[in-house]
Amino acid sequence: MLAAVLSLTVLGLALGWLLGLAARRFRVDVDPRVAQVEALMPGSQCGQCGFPGCSPAALAVVNGEAPLTLCPPGGKALVEALGNTLGISVDTSAMNDGDPQLARVDETICIGCIKCLRTCPTDAIVGAPKQIHVVMERACTGCGACIEICPTGALALMEEEPTLRTWRWAKPQLVAA
Amino acid sequence: MTTPISGPHYHGQRSVRGIMAQVMLALVPATVFALWQFGWPALFLFLLTLLSAVVTEALSLHLAGKAKCAFLLDGSGLLTAWLLALSLPPWAPWWIGVVGGAFAIVLGKQVFGGIGQNLFNPAMLARVALLISFPVEMTRWAAPQPFTATGAPGFVDSLKITFSGGTNLDSLTGATVLGHSKTELTRGIGLDVSLSDIYTPLDYLFGLSGGSFGETSALLLLLGGLYLLVRRIITWQIPVAMLATVALLAGIMHLVDPLRYADPLLHLLAGGLMLGAFFIATDPVTSPSGGLGQLVFGMGCGVLVYVIRTWGGFPEGLAFAVLIMNAATPLIDHYLRPRVYGRSRRGTPLTYTAEQLGREKE
Amino acid sequence: MKLFRFRGGIHPPSRKELSAGSAIETMPLPERLYIPMQQHIGTPAEPAVKIGQHVLKGQLLARASGALSAPIHAPTSGWIRAVTDFTAPHPSGLPILTVVLEPDGKDEWDEFPLPKDPFEMPPELIAERVAAAGIVGMGGATFPTAVKLGGATNKHIHTLLINGGECEPYLTCDDRLMRERAFEVIDGVLLILHGIRWGRAIIAIEDNKHEALEAMRATAKGYGQLEVVAVPTLYPMGSEKQLIKTVTGLEVPAGGLAAQVGVLVQNVATAYAVHEAIRYGRPLVRRIVTVSGGAVRDRRNLEVPIGTLVDDLLRHCGHDGEPERLLMGGPMMGTVLPHAMVPIVKGSNGVLALSKPELPEGSASPCIRCGSCVRVCPVGLMPLELMKRAQNNDLDGAQDYGLSDCLSCGTCAYVCPAHLPLTHYFNYAKGELAARAQQKRKNDYTRQLVQARQARLEREAQAKAAAAAKRKAERAAKKAQEAEA
Ligand code: SF4
Ligand code: SF4
Ligand code: SF4
Ligand code: SF4
C-alpha cells in the first residue's frame, strides 16, 4: 500500500511538473507593449476614437481602458493585429464587415470650397478653389474628418471596393462545433 | 454569393468513424478469444462497460448542447470503453465496468472538451482511477475458465459473479505472472522457482493464462496490431519503439541477474504490453503526431513500463507509463517537428556550397 | 538515373481515364472572346487597341507593363467590341479589365518574320522573343517565362527540368500534348536550352503515362543532352520544388528560387509554346484544356483560343444538368469558379464540372490528432498545429509553424479523416498575412503623410509669422521715418 501511495505521489508530481512546464513554455506573453500597439495604429491622429491621437489611444488600449475596436480607420485588420499583439481574442464578426472605409467626393455636388482639403490629416484630398475635389484612395484613412466639414454634403464614406488584389479567402465556417 | 470554397475539391476515403471501426475490428479476435476464455462474467462486464460509456457520452453531449448523433456515431467513446474493458479483471463486479466507463468518458474526455481535446488516454485514466479506488477488485484475476471447461460457471452463476460479488471467488482466482513473481521476489524466492509453476511462454502467447480480460493473448493482439499497421491506421514508430525498448532493457537486466530479472520474452508476452503498444499508446489524440516524436514517445513508454514493472509499487506499469508520456506529448510535439523542405533541422534555409551544386552537374 | 524521394505525398485516384483517350481537338471559334488583361503573375498588361478596331490573329492587344508582366495577343482575327470589366476566372467573381473580341470567322494570322535557324540566334534573343510572345508558365503558375529565362542566363543553371508530371487528377492535356506533339515539345526544350546557353535537360514524366513516356523517349533519342525520366506517380510530383528534389536530390532553400540550386523548371506546354513562338513567330493565343468531370458528357482535350468562355466549352462538350461545382484546374489545387461565364486564360489547364458524388462529403469534425496530415505533407509541416493557430488568428504562431513554406497543395486536407478544411485555413491565414502587410504599408504611408503635412503647416506658420514680422518692421520703420520728418 505504501508503495502504491508513493508511486502515485511521484506520478502526480511528475505529471504536474510536465504540465506546468508545458503551460509555461506555451504561455502567450501578455506584456503590455505600448510602442508596438502604437506602431499598428493608422497614425492619422484623427481623434475618432475619442482620444486626442494615436499614442494616447494606444496607451488606453494597452491598459485595457479602451476596447480593441476603438479605431474606425484601422478596421478589422487592426483589431486582429491588436488582439494578436496583446494576446486578447476579440470577436470581430460583429464588426462592420466592410473593412476600412474611404471618403469619396460626389462631383455633382462639390462647390470647390477647399475646406476638406485643409482639414484632411493626411493631405489625401486634392483640388483648388472653385474646382471639384478628389480623394486619393491610397492616402485616405477613412477618418471622416472631411465629411463633417463639407458644407454641401458632397463627401461620404464608402466601403473600399474589394479588387482582385485585395480579395482574401474568408475563414472557413465549420458547421459542427 | 456564398463564400467560395477553397481546394482541395477531392478527398480520400478516410473518416473518423472508419478509423475507429477499423481499430475495433482489429480488437475483435483478441476480444472474442478472451470472452471464450473467461466465460459469461466477462461478457457481462464487457457489455456493461460499453453501455455505460455510450450512455454517459450521450448524456454529456446533451448537457454540452452538442449534436449527439454526429459524435456518438464516430465510435470513439465505444472504443475507449472497449479498451478499458479489455484492461479490467474479467470477473470484476458490475459496478467496476459501469463506473469505469462513465469515468473514462466524463473525466477522461468530455471535461477536456470532447473528442480530440483530451490530454490523457481516457481508458488508462479510468483504469488508474479504478486501480487506486478499488485495489482489491482490480487485482482479483480469474484463471481462464472456457465455456466448455468443467468448472466454468453457468449463466446464472455468472450473473451472481458479476452482480452480487459472487460466491467464493477466491477459489477461482489466480495470480498474474508479473504480480506473482514480484510477490515471491519479496519473499526471497528467485524467478527460477517462482516462475516454474506459473509461467510457460506458449500459454502467454496464445492467451491461456490468467490476467486482464483482453491482455492475455499476445498473439491475437499482435495480429490485430499488424492489421492496423497494414491498413495504416497506426504507424510503426510507437509500437516498435515501445516493444524494442522493453525487450532491450529486460535483456540487459536479465543478463545481469537472471534470478531477479525476467527474460525479455516474458516481458513482451505478459501483462498488457501488446495491447498497450498497438492499441493504447497509439491512441492518436494523446500521442505525438510527428514520426520522430512518436519514436521518442514509444521509447519513453517502454522505459517507464519496464521501470514500473521491475522496481515500482505495481506489478504492471502500462497505464502509468502511457499517462506520464501523454503529459509529455505537447512538449514532444513542440520540439520534435519534422524537418521542413528547404530548411535545416533548426529551421534555417538550406545553403549549398558551390561544390555540392557542381557535383550535381556531373 | 538515380531518383530521390520527397517526403509525404499521396496517391489519389487519377480519374485521368475519363479524358486520356480522346485526342486533342480544335475548339470551334465562339461568338465572342473575352481576353483579360492580366493572365500572369505581376503587373496587368495595358490595352493597346481601340474599340471597333480590326485585329489579326496574333496581333498585340495589350502591352506588358513593367519588369514582371506579359503582353497579350489576339486569339483570332476580328473586331474589338469593348474594353471593359468582366468577371475574372477567380473564386471571388470580381471583375478584371477585359478586351472583348468578336471573331470575323477568317482566323487570319498576322504576318511574322520567320527566323532562319533559331540555333544561330544569340541566346538573349530567345528570351526576348519569348517575352514578346507573351508566354507564361502554363502549368498554372503563370509566371512570365521570359523573366525566368532572363534570370537563368546570368545564374549558373546546370539543369533544365521539363515538368511533365501532371500529377493533378483528371487533367490529361499535357499527357495528350506529349503523345501527339512530342517533336514540337522536344524542339521547344532544345530552344529553351539554347536560350540558357545549354546544359542538360531532364524531361520528367510520371510513370502512369506510358504512351507519353514512349513518344517523348523516341523523339528525344539522339540528343545527348536530353533525358526522359519516368518519375513515380505521387501527388504533388508536379510541384516545382518536389520535382526538383525527386530528380536532383536538391532542395530549394526556404524562401528561395529554383535557380539557387541551379535548376530551371518549365512545363511541357510552355516548351510547346516556345516552339511555336520561335519557329513560327506565333505568340501564345491558344492552349490545350482538359474538359472533364462527372457532369460533362464528352470529356475531351480541346485546343482552345484564349478568351473562350467556360460556358462555351461546356456547351461544346455537353453536360448533364447543372454541375455541382465548377473548377478551373485540377481538383487538388484548382480554383472554384463563380459561374461558367468566365474566360479561359493562359494558365487554365482544365475545366472540371464535378457532379455531387465526386465531391468530398461529410462535414468537418474536431481534429483527432491522428497525424495523417503530418505524414503526408510534402513539405514537412504539421498541418494540425498550423490549423490550430490559423483558427485562433495567431498568425505569428502559424508563421512559426511554417505557414509561408506551405504550398497549399491540399494533400493534408485530402487525407484528413475529420474532413477539416486545412488548406482553406492556410489560404485564409496567408491572406490575412498579406492583408496585415498591406495595412502596415498603408499605416506607414499615412504616418509619412501626416508628418509631411505637419512640416508643411509649420512652414506655413513660419512663413506667416515671418511675413507678419516683416510688416511690423516695415510699419515701425515707416513710423520712425515719419517721426524723423
Ligand atoms: S481613431 Fe485611430 S487613427 Fe484616429 S486617432 Fe484614434 S487611433 Fe489614431
Ligand atoms: S468640403 Fe465639400 S464642397 Fe468643399 S471642396 Fe470639399 S467636397 Fe467640395
Ligand atoms: S489529418 Fe485531420 S484529424 Fe488527423 S491530425 Fe491532421 S487535422 Fe487532425
Ligand atoms: S497544404 Fe500545406 S500543410 Fe497541407 S500538405 Fe500541402 S504544404 Fe503541407
Q: Mind listing the pLDDT tens digit for each residue in B105-134?
A: 888 888 888 888 888 999 899 988 888 888
Q: Which protein residue's CA is at the shortest distance from atom 6 of ligand 3?
A: C373
- Contact yes or no for C169 and B10 at CB 8 A: yes
Give pLDDT, residue A8: 61
Residue range(s) defining the domain that contains residue B255: 16-335
pLDDT per residue as tens digits for the range B73-87:
788 889 999 998 888
Is CATH 3.40.50.1580 the classification given to domain A101-159?
no
Interface touch A141/C453, C-beta < 8 Å:
no
The closest CB to that of B314, out of A4, A14, A21, belongs to A4
- pLDDT beyond 80 at B361: no
pLDDT of C82 strictly over 90? yes
Distance (angstroms) between ligand 4 centre and the Cα of C414 equals 10
Enter the pTM of the model.
0.85
Domain membership of residue B9 (yes or no) is no
Percentage of chain C lying above the pLDDT 70 cut: 99
Residue C252 has pLDDT above 90, yes or no: yes
Could you tell me which residues are beta bridge partners of residue C319?
Answer: C296
pLDDT at B213 over 70: no
CA distance C195 to C130: 10
Task: Give me chain C's average pLDDT, please.
Answer: 91
Q: Which of B41-45, B132-136, B312-316 has the lowest mean pLDDT?
A: B312-316
Residue range C183-206: mean pLDDT, rounded: 92
pLDDT: which is higher, B156 or A32: B156
Provide the ipTM: 0.84
Q: How far is the CA of C373 from the centre of ligand 4 (A)?
A: 8
Residue B282 within any structural domain of the chain: yes
Angle between helices B16-64 and B76-86 (to 10 degrees): 100
* Mean pLDDT for chain B overall: 81
Q: Examine residue B230 and state whether it is found in any structural domain, yes or no.
A: yes
Q: Which residue has the higher pLDDT, C329 or A32?
A: C329
Does B343 fall in a domain?
no
Q: Where are the domains of chain C?
A: 16-292, 372-430
**Per-residue pLDDT, B113:** 80
Per-residue pLDDT, averaged over C214-235, amounts to: 93
Q: Kindly list the residues from chain B whose CB atom is less than 8 angstroms away from the CB atom of residue A173.
A: 3
Burial (CB < 10 A; 0-12, 13-18, 19+), residue C43, is: middle
pLDDT level of residue B360 (50, 70, 90 thresholds)? very low
pLDDT beneath 70: ranges in chain A:
1-13, 15-16, 19-32, 75-77, 91-100, 174-177
For chain C, give the secondary structure using H, E and C: CCCCCCCCCECCCCCHHHCCCCCEEECCCCCCEEEECCCCCCCCCEECCCCCCEECECCEEEECCCCCCCCEECCCCEEEEEEEEEECCCCCCCEEEEEEEEECCCCCECCCCCCCCHHHCCHHHHHHHHHHCCCECCCCCCCEHHHHHHHHHHCCCCEEEEEECCCCCCCCHHHHHHHHCHHHHHHHHHHHHHHCCCCEEEEEEECCCHHHHHHHHHHHCCCCCEEEEEECCCECCCCHHHHHHHHHCCCCCCCCCHHHHCEEEEEHHHHHHHHHHHHHCCCCCEEEEEEECCCECCCEEEEEECCCEHHHHHHHHCECCCCCEEEECCCCCCEECCCCCCECCCCCCEEEEECHHHCCCCCCCCCCCCCHHHHHCCCCCCHHHHHHHHHCCCHHHHHHCCHHHCCCCCHHHHHCCCCCCHHHHHHHHHHHHHHHHHHHHHHHHHHHHHHHHHHHHHHHHHHHHHHHHHHHHHHHHHHHHHHHC
- Determine the residue of A38, A40, A51 to mutate for testing ligand 1's pocket, defined as the one with the most ligand atoms within 8 A of the Cβ atom: A51
State the Cα–Cα distance between residues A140 and C54, nearest whole angstrom. Answer: 41
Q: How confident is the model at residue B69 (pLDDT cuts 50, 70, 90)?
A: low
* Ligand with the closest atom to the CA of A117: 2
Angle subtended at Cα A90 by Cα A87 and Cα A94, rounded to the nearest 5 degrees:
165
pLDDT confidence of residue B37? 79
Judged by CB atoms within 8 Å, which residues 302-361 of C form the interface with B?
325, 327, 331-336, 338, 354, 359-361
Note the pLDDT of residue C154.
62
Suggest the residue from C374, C377, C403 to mutate for an interface test with chain B (most B CBs closer than 10 A): C374
Banded pLDDT at C427 (limits 50, 70, 90): very high
pLDDT above 90 covers what percent of chain B? 23
A121 and C CB contact within 8 Å? yes
Q: Given pLDDT bands bounded at 50, 70 and 90, which one contains residue B176?
A: low
Q: What is the pLDDT of residues C431-484, one digit of tens each?
A: 988 888 887 788 778 878 888 888 888 898 999 999 998 888 888 888 888 877
pLDDT category, B171, cuts 50, 70, 90?
Answer: very low
- Count other C-beta atoms under 10 Å from residue A20's C-beta: 10
Give yes or no for A108 touching C (CB within 8 A).
Answer: no
Q: Among B5, B11, B351, pick the best mutation site for testing chain C contact (most C Cβ within 10 A).
A: B11
The total domain count for chain B is 1
Phi, psi dihedral angles at C9 (to 5 degrees):
95, 160
Instruction: Using CB atoms, pick whichever of C393, C449, C456 lies closest to residue A139.
Output: C449
Distance from residue C374's CA to the centre of ligand 4 (Å): 9
Q: Which pLDDT score is estimated for B239?
A: 95
Query: pLDDT band at B195, cuts 50/70/90?
Result: low
pLDDT at B170: 46
C-alpha cell at position B118: 483530451
Nearest Cα of chain A lies from the Cα of B303 at a distance, in angstroms, of 15
The 10s digit of each residue's pLDDT in C120-175 is 888 888 999 999 999 999 987 889 998 888 876 666 788 999 999 899 999 999 99
Q: What is the pLDDT of residue C443?
A: 75
Tell whether ligand 3 has an atom less than 6 A from the beta carbon of residue C377: no
What are the sequence ranges of the domains in chain A?
32-86, 101-159
Pick the atom of ligand 2 nearest to A113's CA.
Answer: 4
Assess whether pLDDT exceeds 90 at residue C386.
Answer: yes
Q: Indicate whether B101 belongs to any domain.
A: yes
Mean pLDDT, to the nearest integer, of B195-212?
62
For residue A172, list chain B residues with Cβ-Cβ distance below 8 A.
6
Q: What mean pLDDT comes out for the span C3-17? A: 93
CA-closest candidate to residue B162, choices B132, B142, B177: B142
Q: Which pLDDT does position B79 carry in this prediction?
A: 92
A108 versus B356: the higher-pLDDT residue is: A108
Tell me which fold the domain A32-86 belongs to.
3-methyladenine DNA Glycosylase II; Chain A, domain 3 (1.10.15)
Cβ–Cβ gap A177/B66 under 8 Å: yes
Closest ligand 4 atom to the C-alpha of C377? 5
Question: Does the pLDDT value for residue B321 go beyond 70?
Answer: yes
Amino acid at C110: D
Q: Give per-residue pLDDT as tens, B258-291.
A: 888 888 888 888 778 888 999 999 999 999 998 9
More confident residue, B191 or B55: B55
Grid cell digits, residue B359 = 557535383
Residue C102 pLDDT > 50, yes or no? yes
Query: Does CATH number 2.60.40.1120 belong to domain C16-292?
Result: no
Q: Does A4 touch chain B (CB under 8 A)?
A: yes
Instruction: Identify the pLDDT of residue B227.
Output: 94
Please answer whether residues B127 and B84 qualify as being in contact, where contact means their C-beta atoms are separated by less than 8 angstroms: yes
Biggest CA–CA distance in chain A, Å, is: 97
The SS3 of residue B262 is: coil
